[in-house]
Structure 1
Amino acid sequence: MGSVLLVLGSCTSLQVGAALAVHLFALGGSTGTTLLRLGLAALVLLLVVRPRVRGWSGLQWRAALALGLSLGAMNGFFYAALSRIDLGTAVTVEFLGPLTLSALTSRRLRDLLWVALALGGVVVLGLTGEHHGGSLDPLGVTFALLAGACWAAYIVTGARVGRVTPGHGGLAIATAVGALALLPFGASGALQAVTSPNGLWLALGTAVLASVVPYSLELAALRRLPQRTFGILLSLEPVIASLAGWVLLRQSMTALGGLGVVLVVAASAGATATAGGGPREAARRSARKGTDEPLEHLTTSGG
């Protein structure tokens, strides 16, 4: 239950931060906003965590670098999508990334059934989430799909960082790497935003709510949950995004969209209820296979 609350808290904080970021687009553009989000988040994490990297191995540095590049690309593509389509719709399309990862890494039929149910809810939300009355912006959808692919990569690399680096040091370094990767593309927009009235405070709020809090909670959850279960639980993301868009950005929500919410919540609840007992189930699998594979590895890897 604690892991579920971590994911729920992450999703809520992330979408409130995304709603704040929409107001920054007019000041610094989507790329400048992304750079501010990750750059300020990296500063906060580095100051608070103070990662001890002198003794890091090559494996730990490679893991943090891979997570950082995934973070930078995921956020860059997502904010580019958000500048063209609604928050709920963008997250719904983006969610196809972790949903596909859950399907590919699962070997149990019931997991695939929960994935199928979540996919149905995602499709309904995607079809009803846009409030402009016309067809979805194709470039916005493309950006959201690319963000989804990077989201799947983030889950895999985040689980690896959680295994090989202690505390939140790996996350702090990875966030800094993501910001540095975006620096050539968003520096001018970021500078324009922070020199605008209230722009710096708005950017700091976005960084904390959309990066520091959710990524810290997700890293903790990834240490406790299999990747497939984590990916299915993230189906709550489109639901919370639709609610945040409705409440904070006045983006519409239809009755059919409500059906999509119900389907996604049912899939998340079902995935949680049948997750399988965590370490005890892993121990039983290990005993049946006659292996001595560490429980920590079994409980953080998919399949």
Structure 2
Amino acid sequence: MTLPAEADVAICGAGPIGAATATFLARPGLRVVLIDHDPADDPDHVATYRYSGGSIRWTWPDPVKREMTTQTEQFIRGAAPGADLGMIENTYHLLHTGEHIPALNVSATGLVGMLRDQAQEAGAMFVDALVTGVRPDGSGHVVETSRGAIRAGRVLGAMGAANASVFPQASAEPEKRQLFVLDLPVPPERELLPHTIVPVGDGFGYVFVKLIDGDLRVLVGQEDIVADEDTSGPVDHWKEILDSGLAATLPWLRDARVDDILWGVDTAQKTLVVDEPSPGVLIANCGSAIRSAAWLGRTLAERLGSG
């Protein structure tokens, strides 16, 4: 669509945070414009939801995480009958505690696409454009884009790791994430593999099954087993992860080969981080945003809608 001259709220970024916020914010009489340029090849790999594992568990000791994920699980279940979310009912199996925790796995791109559609159905306008800057203008703000400028009373920066390029005031720290897609078969007896959490040294590995392009695949991720700060591309440290202890615990992974590496630059913090550099401008970041998308959208919509 053509970029309008004015809006009440301009949302920069249409990933899980931006799209969910637009969904809960859009209503008759409120001009909400969602601005995003999300090319399928994503050369900088900052649309991290594309490479997300998409696993959601809602049993956490921390009450904030519990609320964030429970609201999202309930929202997804309510929407799932009418949406293709590739949903798998599974569990988290924490080997170090013996716990089996109910969980869902969903298509992150499917969920974001559904949120965008719902936002537009509710009245939000979507414009495909690259946000290049935001500056104050009287009582409002001007959002500069590759397709012109728009003046908005309130602005939300929700571009994930790309927030830093437009909003240098953002305090969230970037973090590289990788998932290894393995060549292992998924016979019927492996289809119900739980999302298995394995302590390894000072970190842990996680192994799970996910629908990718219609096929069930075995994926493995890791946190704090192997340090990887190279944000220029994927790094195949699969053998190092195996040798660090993962293969000793799960020997069936020992002969697996890596078919693909899904990687992206996410936010390190997995709870909502909001910066407000000036009245009416919010910069929102949250790592693993898919699992908390509904809560994030409601929370930010309340703040922006009351402005």
Do the two structures share a fold, i.e. TM-score over 0.5?
no
Structure showing greater relative contact order (alpha-carbon pairs closer than 8 Å, 6 or more residues apart): 1
Normalized against structure 2, the TM-score is what?
0.23
Q: Which has the higher helix share?
A: 1
Between structure 1 and structure 2, the one with the greater Rg is: 2
TM value normalised by structure 1? 0.23
Specify which structure has the higher proportion of strand.
2
